[in-house]
């Protein structure tokens, strides 16, 4: 594996969770085969100082630091645990660091590159340091930028500090894998992944090469063959990365940070499908949060055991006004197939891309990207009639991070925060919470 000491691309990744990715059937293989990689370190700095991941077809590592400072006022000295519960809708007690590693699986495609963003609890030294802003050259590969041109100007500012010192106290921390949507990217949901790390998690989010935003721009569309390949590749990507992380030398600070006895998985759209399939194919996870999931007709292709046979806690997060994956044909079928412990959070006015950073991008940039085959994101989650992104983000974090706090951090007191009343305090009557836990 290869490590990069710079910021990685972001935001536009959301643009791609498009409907075609969820319209075909296919079978996916089970657990990944393992392989070995090597690691090299890059220098911390801006885009000009950052080595390009030239060994990979995945998005490069880059980005610039923002003049804003990392971390706001912490909630308190400790994250949620068996004896306490802190508000999961806002940033937790820890500053957040971010690093980028490229894993290469030698057993697939002559070497399958998996550029991966990892957010983690940082030491208090990170407070006041410059934070990561993802720029357009970070969001797209050079071949995609050649097609798009130079008119895009969007930025995505985060509260994470590039390669900040890793926190050693209170650890090791539970590990949560995040899987982006079809035509998305590893940094598509920083409103969620960065704050999750601040609550005491190591969050691991790879680019699923062949199914990223840059891949979509370059190919013009994902044909059925591409999507079926992704259906099988994505769970294998997560398994391979997990294996590689578990093989890190004990002297590696990242190795000391991760507790693989407590593992969760979460994802958006095709990433929600990936999360459920990985669980069913032996991913050995303790909790799943699936956002705007694909329906069971595709999600369960090739899996013989019914979803009801699995006792892993599952939470669905549903966009009531999802035009890409309408709930009656998709999320509702997953809910009906699941059994206790299960939960469902619905935002009635949310669209498909409300569950991403997409709506924070410049609308003019989204319009340009849509010209190249990307789904109509502006009309599916980013309209004035959809849930406000700040409101939606708080609700998504509250129930998503709170769910992991219960099942990965053993925070029974957090159950008292996961209620209809708490949801309505955040989002009003558009939010519905159902739980059989």
Percent of the chain with pLDDT over 90: 66
CATH number of 2-436: 3.40.50.1820
pLDDT at position 370, please?
67
What Rg value do the Cα atoms of the chain yield, rounded? 19
What is the model's pTM?
0.84
Cis peptide before 279 (omega within 30 of 0): no
- Name the more confident of 56 and 411: 411
Q: Is the pLDDT of residue 65 over 70?
A: no
Q: What is the pLDDT of residues 387-425, one digit of tens each?
A: 999 999 999 999 999 999 999 999 999 999 999 999 999
- Taking every pair of Cα atoms in the chain, the longest distance, rounded to a whole number of angstroms, is 54
Q: Is the pLDDT of residue 305 over 80?
A: yes
Alpha carbon of residue 41 to chain centroid: 24
Q: What is the pLDDT of residues 39-53, one digit of tens each?
A: 333 332 333 333 333
**Phi–psi pair at 128, nearest 5 degrees:** 95, -10
Mean pLDDT of the chain: 84
- Name the more confident of 244 and 21: 244
3-state secondary structure at position 421: helix
Buried b (16+ CB within 10 A) or exposed e, 40-68: eebebebbeebbebeebbbbbbbbbbbee
Instruction: Please choose, from the candidates 377, 351, 343, the residue with its C-alpha nearest in 3D space to the C-alpha of residue 18.
Output: 377
Beta strands 160-162 and 173-179 are unpaired
Q: Is the pLDDT of residue 29 over 80?
A: no
């Amino acid at each position: 594996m290869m490590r990069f000491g710079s910021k990685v691309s972001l935001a536009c990744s959301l643009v791609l969770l498009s409907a075609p990715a969820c319209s075909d059937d296919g079978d996916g293989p089970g657990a990944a085969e393992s392989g070995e990689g090597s690691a090299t370190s890059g220098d911390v700095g801006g885009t000009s100082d950052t080595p390009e991941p030239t060994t990979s077809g995945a998005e490069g590592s880059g980005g610039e630091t923002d003049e804003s400072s990392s971390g706001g006022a912490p909630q308190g000295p400790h994250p949620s645990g068996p004896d306490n519960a802190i508000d999961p809708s806002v940033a937790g007690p820890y500053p957040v660091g971010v690093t980028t590693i490229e894993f290469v699986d030698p057993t697939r495609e002559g070497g399958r590159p998996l550029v991966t963003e990892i957010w983690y609890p940082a030491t208090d030294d990170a407070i006041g340091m410059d934070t990561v802003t993802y720029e357009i050259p970070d969001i797209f590969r050079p071949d995609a930028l050649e097609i798009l041109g130079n008119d895009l100007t969007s930025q995505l500012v985060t509260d994470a500090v590039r390669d900040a010192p890793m926190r050693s106290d209170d650890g090791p921390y539970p590990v949560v894998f995040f899987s982006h949507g079809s035509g998305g990217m590893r940094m598509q949901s920083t409103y969620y992944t960065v704050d999750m790390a601040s609550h005491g998690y190591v969050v691991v989010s790879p680019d699923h090469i062949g199914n990223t935003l840059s891949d979509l721009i370059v190919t013009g569309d994902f044909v059925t063959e591409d999507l079926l390949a992704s259906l099988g590749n994505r769970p294998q990507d997560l398994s391979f990365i997990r294996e590689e992380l578990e093989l890190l030398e004990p002297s590696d600070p990242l190795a000391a940070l991760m507790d693989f006895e407590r593992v969760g998985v979460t994802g958006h759209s095709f990433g929600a499908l990936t999360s459920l399939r990985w669980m069913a194919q032996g991913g050995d996870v303790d909790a799943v949060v699936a956002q705007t999931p694909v329906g069971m007709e595709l999600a369960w292709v090739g899996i013989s055991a019914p979803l009801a046979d699995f006792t892993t806690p599952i939470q669905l997060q549903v966009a009531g006004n999802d035009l890409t994956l309408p709930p009656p044909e998709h999320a509702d079928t997953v809910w009906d197939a699941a059994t206790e412990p299960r939960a469902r959070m619905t935002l009635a006015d949310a669209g498909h891309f409300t569950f991403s950073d997409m709506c924070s991008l410049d609308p003019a940039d989204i319009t340009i990207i849509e010209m190249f085959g990307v789904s109509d994101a502006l009309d599916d989650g980013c309209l004035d009639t959809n849930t406000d992104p700040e409101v939606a983000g708080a609700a998504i974090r509250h129930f998503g991070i709170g769910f992991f706090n219960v099942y990965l951090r053993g925070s029974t007191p957090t159950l008292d925060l996961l209620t209809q009343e708490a949801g309505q305090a955040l989002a009003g009557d558009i939010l519905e919470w159902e739980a059989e836990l």
